[in-house]
Structure 1
Amino acid sequence: MATDPYADPKLEGVSIRSLPKVSLHDHLDGALRPQTIIELADEIGLDVPSTDAEELADWFEDQSDSGSLVEYLKTFDLTTAVMQSADGLRRVAKEFVEDLAADGVIYGEVRWAPEQHLGGGLSLEEAVEAVQEGIEEGEDAVDRSGRDIRVGQLITAMRHADRSLEIARLAVAFRGRGAVGFDIAGAEDGFPPSRHRAAFDYLASEFFPVTVHAGEAAGLDSIRSAILDGRALRLGHGVRIAEDLEVVQQQGDSVLVTFGDLARWVRDREIPLELSPSSNLQTGAIAAWGKNLEDHPFDLLYQLGFAVTVNVDNRTMSRTSLTRELALLAETFDYRLEDLEAFQLNAAAGAFLSVEEREELIELIGEGFDA
């Protein structure tokens, strides 16, 4: 197995992995351990590209590095196939929590679409209950190891389907039983949030938090619809908000930028951007600016005062971790510990928690970075 240079990276002599982190954009069906996929596939007689965990990890990374969100999403056919039973969902959810904790995450939100996990005969409610059981088993295991973590579910509807109102009602029904928010995911281009206005109206009437995938495979119109039709409190990715910025002058580190109305609204309202650097490269979300991490508008958005957060999107497909994403950003943009702390504070402030819980989370982050 090749050595991962980002397994335990240091910044200013401090292990990035040891720092307290908040994960807001992390898909359950994009975060399976390759060995778990192999074992679950064997149980149901499903063929996999390789029965060697390292080779299967290679396959996911190669297939995902296509420059197209549509092609990237095809890799989920395999992961969702082994998540069609209560036992499979419980195991994946438990390991998800354990892997977050091992990455230094103290609060995470896991998004997944129950409607994609009914092939084994589960009902929507049974699927959500199975994932919640796995989350709680994972939290208990982490607690026994002497660490603390809390994970909430973001119940997700597929934007190309017609079940969003049903899924929204499901999410609200599980408020207080694990569900902390709602999302729509899947092929973004051609399926704007406005198609799901009835679901978003219902969620607004129930005062239930919403994040929306927008500004990844589609541009400003998608972001505008997420805010106006979806009442999104956060933007899933949202990287293409940079299309509403015009750099009019740049001298050294000084940049003069003019804002469009949408970009100014997102910045001034401190609407968190759930940026996922490696994934954004793989799916071509930053193609307008380039193909390398240094081309990513992450640093521009950060310097302009947007509420940027750092996320993995899909750990398996991008073969990454939150630690690795932070290390890559620090290496590329010469960030210091105070910058990494700012990203975590942004994420904590945007978490779908009560104000008291967010304040506690912010305090824990401060203490961890000070230590």
Structure 2
Amino acid sequence: MGKPDNDGDLSHSLYTPELLRACQRLPKIELHAHLNGSVRPQTIKDILDERSRAGEALPVTEQELADITVGGERSLRDCFRLFDVIHAVTTTHAAISRIAAEVVRDFAADRVVYLELRTTPKARPEYGMTKESYTQAVLDGIDAALAQLRAAPPRAASQQQLLPADAPAAAAVALSPAAAGSTASAEPGRQAGAGAGAGGQGAGEVASPSHAQMVAASEGVVLSPRAAPSHASAAGVDVAASVSSGTSAAAAAGAGAKGPGTMAESGPGEDVITVKLLLSIDRREDAAAALETVQLAARLQSRGVVGVDLSGNPYVGAWSQWEGALGAARAAGLRVTLHAGEVVAPQEVAAMLAWRPERLGHCCCLDAELAAQLKSSAIPLELCLTSNVLTQSVPSYPEHHFAELYAAGHPVVLCTDDSGVFGTTLSREYAIAAAAFKLPVSALHELARQAVEYTFASAAEKERLRRLVARELAELEGGL
């Protein structure tokens, strides 16, 4: 895609702490987050320590472990090798449930009100794990996190002065990888007081976190940018933070039970977060394995599985391998999102556009003809700024195709991709977008509002999310 018109070199600027805090307080929608890429680095260390104490031979070297916890530029190929290392460590159902629970709590702490988490079901017979038991472990972890959040929602940080809605938000971000080498980030995800050991750099800087910073960001409970009050909905019922009681949405609505994304009785942790799950087809899988994943997703719809994703190493496989399975997903009522255009593959991207999935991810490497086709399609696009810059899929934040698509009015949603691997949060992605593309705070509010429309939620859930997001944005715009 063509380069946006950017005046001046902003690569040494920094977004302000005030802008980051304003983004932290936004009610946000996360639609492209990989479970294993969102793991806390400290959790990987903890799991390895447990296995070492049990006398197990560790599946990774010290260098491979360091690679997980040290930020910075990585090629796309490097990232897939890194994911293989993470998968080698997470081989028990307990570890998978723990990771899922922590990821949900971390997103809730960043004021994400709706999360579509995605993961590839893994069959590991040597560990007594099937695709179904893996997925059940993920869902169990989600359930555990939601139960904790209902009982004790994230604590509120102090109220901060918001920027006026028409204020330019383009104060600051390290806009190229080269400029990000020595600055420290002050993102949500850090234990209170942990920043002192990270070098004392200014808050809110966009950088590739150091090993120490990423460890600090992984420890303890994250403070929420604002409390999640127990507001009543228009129907007089609070919104449930929910996925997965095993009850269908229809049954839950009729019986008052908490089901996937349904209403629930008022409680201190309601309105915190709703979580749905997408099951990913790995590009290394053949047609039969892809269909197995789709069939599993179809069986687990009552537990909050709403769709399937095609992801994995873009240098592997061919679109024709998975098209049949994806068609079966659509026939089963599942929604489909595809990783597309992570590398130059014009024939594959053209075929994906012609197939018309409900959403696409990335689309970094499109020529002018494919970019025009994408815009004509109006297919919502999941954009992951930090991921794309750090993997060198795009050269810098100002050159990211967000600018071109946003200017054209194409539906886009900001996402994290792999928050643990890339040391980012969704609030940080909003702050980067504001700074890199000179968006006023009112535009950030509209991005948050429009993201609801691109979810795989049901019509009733979308309406509930619209009310929730509109209410919170109105409070923010009113200075409450």
TM-score band (shorter)?
A: 0.7 to 0.9
Cα separation, 1, equivalents of 2:441 and 2:471: 13
User: Are residue 202 (structure 1) and residue 328 (structure 2) matched?
Assistant: yes
Range that drifts further, 217-226 or 143-152 = 217-226
Report the alpha carbon displacement of residue 201 of structure 1 after superposing the two structures with TM: 2.0
Q: Which residue of 1 aligns with 2:171?
A: none
Give the letter aligned to residue 263 of structure 1.
L
CA contact (8 A) 1:41 1:48 kept: no
Q: Distance in 2 between matches of 1:225 and 1:115?
A: 27
* 1:15 equivalenced with 2:119 (yes/no): no
For 1:161, the aligned partner's letter is: E
1:1-150 matched pairs, under 5 angstroms = 9-11=17-19, 15-45=22-52, 46=58, 47=60, 49=62, 58-59=69-70, 61-62=71-72, 65-66=73-74, 68-115=75-122, 120-146=127-153, 147=228, 148-150=272-274
Q: Which residue of the other structure, out of 236, 239, 260, is the alignment partner of 2:361? A: 236
Q: In the alignment, which residue of structure 2 is the partner of 1:339?
A: 443
Structure 2, unpaired ranges of 5+ = 1-13, 53-57, 154-227, 229-271, 476-480
Counterpart amino acid of residue 283 in structure 1: T
Give the match's secondary structure for 2:310: strand
Which deviates more, 23-32 or 183-192?
183-192
- Which aligned segments of 4 or more residues in structure 1 are displaced greater than 6 angstroms? none
TM-score after normalising by structure 1: 0.84
SS in 2 for 1:299: helix
SS of 2:62 mapped into structure 1: coil
Cα contact 1:108–1:150 (8 A) shared by 2: yes
Q: Distance in 1 between the 2:295 and 2:111 partners?
A: 33
Deviation per CA, 1:145-195: give whole Å up to 9, x if none. Answer: 234111111101111221111111111111111211101111123534332
**TM-aligned CA distance change 1:31 to 1:80, over 3 Å:** same
Query: In the alignment, does 2:356 pair up with 1:356?
Result: no
Task: Evaluate the alpha carbon distance shift between residue 343 and residue 240 of structure 1 in structure 2; reply closer, same or farther with a 3 A threshold.
Answer: farther
Answer yes or no: is 1:282 the counterpart of 2:390: yes
Calculate the TM-score normalised by the size of structure 2: 0.66
Question: Quick one: structure 1 residues 116 and 334, their matched pair in 2 at CA, closer, same or farther if it must change by over 3 Å?
Answer: farther
8 Å contact from structure 1 (residues 240, 285) kept in 2: yes
SS of 1:75 mapped into structure 2: helix
Matches within 5 A, 1:275-314: 275-286=383-394, 291-314=395-418
Which region of structure 1 is more displaced relative to structure 2, 165-174 or 211-220? 211-220
Deviation at 1:342? 2.4
SS in 2 for 1:107: strand
Task: Provide the rounded CA distance (Å) in 1 between the counterparts of 2:336 and 2:304.
Answer: 15
Query: How far apart, in 1, do the equivalents of 2:367 and 2:407 lie?
Result: 12
User: What is the CA distance between 1:362 and its match in structure 2?
Assistant: 1.9
Describe the superposition over 1:326-369 as per-residue Cα deviations: whole angstroms up to 9, x where unpaired: 11111111212221122223321111111121122122212222
- Measured on the aligned residues, the alpha-carbon RMSD in Å equals 2.4
Name which structure has the greater RCO, CA cutoff 8 Å, separation 6+.
2
1:107–1:150 Cα contact (<8 Å) kept = yes
Mapped contact 2:433–2:439 kept (Cα < 8 A): yes
Distance, in Å, in 2 between the alignment partners of 1:319 and 1:132 is 24
What do the CA deviations read for 1:112-151 (whole angstroms, capped 9, x no partner)? 1012666522111111111101001111112222341111
- AA aligned to 1:363 is R
Secondary structure in structure 2 of the residue aligned to 1:161: coil
State the match for 1:272 in structure 2. 380
Deviation digits for residues 190-227 of structure 1, max 9, x if unmatched? Answer: 53433212201211221211001112223443332223
Partners of 1:168 and 1:115 lie apart in 2 by 13
- 2:451 and 2:88 mapped to 1: Cα distance? 31
Whole-Å separation in 1 of the counterparts to 2:82 and 2:62: 11
Sequence identity percentage: 31
In structure 2, the partner of 1:329 is: 433
Residues 152-163 of structure 1 aligned to structure 2 (within 5 Å) = 152-162=276-286, 163=289
Partner Cα separation in structure 2 for residue 294 and residue 120 of structure 1: 45
CA distance in 2: counterparts of 1:353 and 1:32, whole angstroms: 24
Q: Is 2:222 aligned against 1:214? A: no
Q: Distance in 1 between matches of 2:391 and 2:117?
A: 20
The amino acid that maps onto 2:79 is: Y
Pick the structure with greater CA Rg. 2
